[in-house]
Structure formats: C-alpha cells, structure tokens
C-alpha cells in the first residue's frame, strides 16, 4: 500500500461557527481564526460537526470555506468539511473546496439513509475520484448510525487521495486494528479529545479537536509531546484537562463549547435550532470547570 502524505500532524481545531442575529458572524470568525493560529493550532477544520454544518445553507457553507482559506492564507492547513449523505452534493462541495484552495476535505459517513459497507466504499471512492485533494474520512457512528468496518478501511486506504481518517467511534480496540492493518497507507486522527494520548501512543498522528476551540495552546502541546514520544508528560496534560474535556460534552456538541467561547468573549451563544442554549445550572457547571483551568 502507498505511504500517504500527512495533511497535518498535531492538533487541528474543529472550528465553531459564530452566529449573530441569525447570520454567520464573520468578524467573530476572523478573531477566532487569529486566536487559533496565535495559539499554535496545527490545522483549521471548517464546516464540520462542531460548526453546525448541518444547519448551514449551501451559500453559507461555501462562503465559510472560502473565507477561512483566504484569512488563514497558508499559515496552517485548512480542511473543509464536505461530507454529505448525498454523494453528488459531497462531490460538488469537494470540487469547490479544491478550487478555493483548501488543503484537504473531511468526509463524514452518510447519515440517516446510511449505507452498506459495499456502498460506503463506493461513496468514498467516487468522492476521492472527483478532485485531486487529500480526503480525510470521518467515522462518528454515534451521530450517523454507521460505522466504517475494518475491511472497508482496508479497501479505502488503497486510494491515493484517501489519506486519513478522523476516528470518533470511541472504540480503542477497533481503532488500533485499523492502525495495525492500514499502517502508513491511512493516517489516523483521534476524533475524541479524551483519547488523544491513548490513540497517539499506538500510532495516531494527531487529533481533530473540540477542546482546541478554547485551549489551542494546551491541545497543541499535548499532541506535540506525543509526536516527540514523551507520552508521560502528554498524559499529565490529558488528565489535567480531562474534567473540562468531559464538560464540553455534558450536552451535545457544540452547545457547551460555544457556551464556553461566548463566556470567553469570542462570540455569542447563538446556535441554530434544533440546538439551543443550556440552562443556568449547566452553565454554572461548565463555568466552574473553566475557572479551574484558568480560562475565566
């Protein structure tokens, strides 16, 4: 199998989408992008789950991708979320992202209509054929109801444009089997912030992180230590911020992280229905964890 190029290694941020009065707040987005780059984030991932991509219009989706590419201006890689449960639409967005200058695309497994493993492989292969851009698969069965099997991963890893996967299944044993079976032909990123060090200790090359929205420097440092083989020090950071990490998922992502970002002054708490703000009791729980981490 081919040895695949790394789109990035380390900690990439699964960026939120700031809203104001029903619209994307591009001024806030610019501030957040600069905060991320200053904080040492290794990649910007736009229009993923944390970005509430499912509620973005097509125009908003495309404009955010273009905006991030333009504002980041090559300082770190920009990866565009272009996955869909409609293969043709995923192809359209992937071609668009390639033309706009994105460094890679993130492709979630089809949701709701799901797919057999055979059709799942065909879905990803068709997208990979549409444009010469690195494809990162995104396996998150808790949201999509669909899991990429080991056999499917092995087939997909043979395609030169399918370079990596974001693994958010939470199944450490299954992910280790993928790492062992696919080797350098498929890079693996942790999709769960509470598993950065465990997965990087067995061969993952980084994380696509929710935590990085509020702690880019610390998440980058955790991943950097892992890449240098200093898992003892990395584990100290993983454990130090574990309660906060868990707090960011006390309700469905991105509700808590957007609440935290608003408290830090980066954006409003505005979300798109069917997501809504937490109640005061959960807010206070989150703020207490943020105070412990010296964020507020």
Q: Which of 166, 189, 241, 258 is catalytic?
A: 166
| 32 C-beta neighbours (distance < 10 Å), count | 22
Block residue for tokens 């409003």: 268
Active site residue 236: no
Specify the 3-state DSSP secondary structure of 143.
helix
Contact between 251 and 274 under an 8 Å Cβ cutoff? The reply is no
74 exposure class (CB count in 10 Å sphere: 0-12, 13-18, 19+): exposed
Block residue for tokens 């954006």: 267
Q: Which of 138, 153, 189, 241 is catalytic?
A: 138
Contact between 206 and 42 under an 8 Å Cβ cutoff? The reply is yes
Active site residue 166: yes
Contact between 64 and 23 under an 8 Å Cβ cutoff? The reply is no
Q: 104-108 and 10-14: which strand pairing?
A: unpaired
Catalytic residues: 138, 166
């Amino acid at each position: 199998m081919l040895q695949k190029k790394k789109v990035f290694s380390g900690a990439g941020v699964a960026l939120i989408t700031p809203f104001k009065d029903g619209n994307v707040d591009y001024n806030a987005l610019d501030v957040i992008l600069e905060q991320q780059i200053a904080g040492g984030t290794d990649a910007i991932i736009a229009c993923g789950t944390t970005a509430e991509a499912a509620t973005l219009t097509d125009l908003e989706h495309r404009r955010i991708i273009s905006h991030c590419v333009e504002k980041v201006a090559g300082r770190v890689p920009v990866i565009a979320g272009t996955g869909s449960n409609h293969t043709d639409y995923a192809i359209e967005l992937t071609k668009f992202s390639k033309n706009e200058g994105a460094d890679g695309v993130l492709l979630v497994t089809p949701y709701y209509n799901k797919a057999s493993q055979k059709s799942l492989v065909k879905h990803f292969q068709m997208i990979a054929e549409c444009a010469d851009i690195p494809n990162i698969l995104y396996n998150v069965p808790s949201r999509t109801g669909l899991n990429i099997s080991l056999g499917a991963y092995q087939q997909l890893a043979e395609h030169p444009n399918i370079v990596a996967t974001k693994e958010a299944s939470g199944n450490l044993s299954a992910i280790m089997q993928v790492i062992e079976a696919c080797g350098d032909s498929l890079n693996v990123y942790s999709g769960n912030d509470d598993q950065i060090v465990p997965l990087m200790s067995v061969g993952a090359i980084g994380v696509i992180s929710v935590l990085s929205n509020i702690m880019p420097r610390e998440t980058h440092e955790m991943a950097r230590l892992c890449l240098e083989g200093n898992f003892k020090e990395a584990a100290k950071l993983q454990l130090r911020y574990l309660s906060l990490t868990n707090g960011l998922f006390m309700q469905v992502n991105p509700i808590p992280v957007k609440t935290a970002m608003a408290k830090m002054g980066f954006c409003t708490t505005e979300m798109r229905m069917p997501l809504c703000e937490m109640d005061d009791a959960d807010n206070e729980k989150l703020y207490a964890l943020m105070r412990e981490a010296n964020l507020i």
